[in-house]
Structure 1
Amino acid sequence: MMNFDSSSKLGKEAMDSMLTTVSSMTKGFQQIAAEATDYSKKAFEDSSAVVEKLVAAKSLDKAIEIQTDFAKSSYEGFVAQATKMSEIYADLAKQAYKPFEEAAAKVGTHA
């Protein structure tokens, strides 16, 4: 049977794990927000540049070429950003779970 000191220590460890998790998640969500903001800003700037190029295009063929290049680069940029965001989310999940994994390992050794 566990004594009061042991259960108090486990409670403190659980609280420490929770606070570490909250801190990790906060940092992760800030990183996600920063990435999303940067991507949105770049996408807007790229779109604005394409509109300017389209307005200045001297022929329909040139306009189609500009639009095709933009569509291709936009798609490639989106795929790269989606990959980067999924890696950030996966890292966030790992960081959030890590303190509980360590606490569970400690409880397992005390059992």
Structure 2
Amino acid sequence: MATTAPKTAAAKSDEAVEETLATASKIAADVPAPVRELAEKSVQQAKDGYARWKAAAEETSDAFEDALATSSKGYKEFSRKSVELTRSNVNAHFDFLQALIGAKSVSQAIELQTSFARQQFEVLSGQAKELSSLAQKAATDGTKPFQDLASKTARFAQSQ
């Protein structure tokens, strides 16, 4: 038994429009010429309107797909960087603990602790800035397809 792939929403819409237009054409053949001309003009306007609507819907769908792909890429980069920084911080902490275990006196241990705390504060501040920058870039890049779509829509609306 052969299976058929389900129709997409766009294909179903196209089919419904074509059926409606075919029915209108059949009906138009049986009416007087002035009415038929008006009907044909209306049918053409409907076809043109549907074509514009379909193009806009496809652009919107493409914008969503682009935004998703771009956001996904940005957040993957953010996640990768987070793991990398965490690994670096854990390694630094183990190195500190190893040095602390080897301390010969309490004053040396306090000096190691103070130095490590100062160094980690600077490192963590830099890492926070880097992660913040990556998150901001991911968010900005993810919204760009929508901004482009809004610009196109505004230009289209002005031209009508």
TM-score bracket for the superposition, by shorter chain length: over 0.9
Aligned partner of 2:104 in structure 1 is 58
Q: From the two aligned structures, give the one with the greater helix fraction.
A: 1
How far off is 1:71 after superposition?
A: 0.4
Q: Which has the higher contact order (CA 8 A, sep 6+)?
A: 1
- The equivalent of 2:81 in structure 1 is 35
Shift of residue 72, structure 1, vs aligned partner: 0.7
> Residues of 1 paired with 2:90 and 2:135: CA distance?
24
The aligned counterpart of 1:20 is 66
Equivalent residues in 2 for 1:1-111 (5 A)? 3-111=49-157
Give the Å deviation of 1:48: 0.5
Distance in 1 between residues matched to 2:134 and 2:106, nearest whole Å:
41
Paired with 2:75 and 2:139, the residues of 1 have a C-alpha distance of 11
Q: Which runs of 5+ in 2 are unaligned?
A: 1-44
Q: How far 1:32 sits from its partner (Å)?
A: 1.0
Q: Secondary structure at the match of 1:58?
A: coil
AA of the residue aligned to 2:79: A
* Two-structure CA RMSD over aligned residues (Å): 1.3
Q: Give the superposition deviation at 1:64.
A: 0.7
Distance in 1, Cα, partners of 2:96 & 2:139? 37
Offset from partner CA, 1:4-38 (integer Å, 9 cap, x none): 01111111110110001100111111111111101
Q: How many residues get paired?
A: 111
Give the aligned residue type for 2:116: F
| 1:57 aligned counterpart, secondary structure | coil
- How many Å separate the matches in 1 of 2:69 and 2:60? 14
Task: Name which one, 1 or 2, has greater alpha-carbon Rg.
Answer: 2
TM-score (norm 1): 0.95
If the length of structure 2 is used for normalisation, what is the TM-score? Answer: 0.67
